[in-house]
Chain A
């Protein structure tokens, strides 16, 4: 687990109770070793996961956000993951315009029996986030960063009438 050797990054997981949380439990019961960066928030269904939770986490400074639900057709609530798939897909596709690397967000499906798959997903996602490194804070963290930001923009001038940059 290379991720463990480095400084931990902040990875938020949103997991549905019935499949993916169970899958993470199964991985635990089987003692499938995983990197420790991820912290899991349990929700009843992937249909409960508002894409804005993901955005909130990213803007708060999360380095990665992982969402996992039941495989399509296997939703405990019949349709939750169908809605989730649309919502999360749109979020994933939208992120590039914000400049937030869309690789920091991923959504996937893991069933309660797929402990091994869960281990794989966590390991791979954590590896990816470590490759991307710590996320840049949206709010400049120091006065110096504020200054740099201001100058950076100021130096750009008004190249484009549409949005001044």
Chain B
């Protein structure tokens, strides 16, 4: 199904949805643009790629898994445990193809024969993505090098492409078709061609893709070469900006909070660049330095994950980790350095 919607109507469409459902959309505030829960009255900001990815929709930064309440009754003391499974539908409007596709990296981990993460699965199954294709790549974009392109509809339910006067909309899934049935969408007319031309141009602007196919093996070769990793991680400050921005990072931490008579089990994003990520109870830390940790982050995305999951690189090429790194660490350069490494001994 192909439709057209004016920008004004898209804002209206989003606002109406937001009145009924949990809508996540890029909103400009405080000088930056982030995905946040859309409240009727807010405007969507399509001018730039949101700083934080839409990962929150399917994998929120924190979610309560369990609530515990203590109380006393006539019959004695009681302990009430409440599982907090997510409820309701969520619609993401304005994600980019990289972000929508990135979430697919989660599935092989959270939905296996042995393990099915009920919290993740519920959210995934109840979330729709209305994605906006990119018309111009940024200097940090490299989705084309990890098997995607600026108009990739994978992982989306609807793909929007900016055209004269509004957006050309194409439904990708049946649920997407249902969305496009809304009266605010008009006949697409000849805009399909205009959109196709835009998409082609965007892909051309990205230029030659880099070939990461040798990365998995080459990174493994460098596994024990801590000198290499120390040099690569010199400027890394070991913060979590890269992992928290990343649409594909799926690591989490579970902590119990208690205060007085209430307790809670909380799941929150974890960050493999942090010292505490692998800190063991004994005090020993197998990844005690930032070099170890950067090796793991890059190795995991370009080598260990592809090894386990059909050569799929666990990176969607959105470039957020590069653009937002306070020290300018560029994951592309780290992988390339491993690929191009020549043993001078």
Contacts and interface: CB of A to CB of B under 8 A. Distances in A.
Contacts of B28: 158
A150 B31 contact: no
Contacts of A154: 27, 29, 39, 41-43
B39 A164 contact: no
B31 A163 contact: yes
Contact of A164 (B27, B30, B41, B42): B30
A163 B30 CA distance: 6
A151 B32 CA distance: 16
B53 to A, nearest CB: 19
A164 B29 contact: yes
Interface residues of B, number: 13
Interface string B198-223: 00000000000000000000000000
Contacts of B41: 151, 154-155
A12 to B, nearest CB: 13
Contacts of B123: none
Interface string A146-165: 11001101110010010111
**Range, interface on chain A:** 10 to 19
B39 A147 contact: yes
Contact of A158 (B27, B31, B36, B259): B31
B37 interface: yes
Contacts of A158: 28, 30-31
Contacts of A147: 39
A163 B37 CA distance: 21
A164 B32 CA distance: 9
A111 B41 CA distance: 56
Contacts of B37: 146, 150
A118 to B, nearest CB: 27
A150 to B, nearest CB: 5
A86 B28 CA distance: 40
Contacts of B27: 154
Contact of B30 (A60, A151, A153): A153
Nearest to A153: B29
Greatest chain A CB density within 10 A among B27, B32, B42 is at B42
14 contacts: A60-B259, A146-B37, A150-B36, A151-B39, A153-B30, A154-B41, A154-B42, A155-B41, A158-B28, A161-B31, A163-B31, A164-B29, A164-B31, A165-B30
Interface of A: 60, 146-147, 150-151, 153-155, 158, 161, 163-165
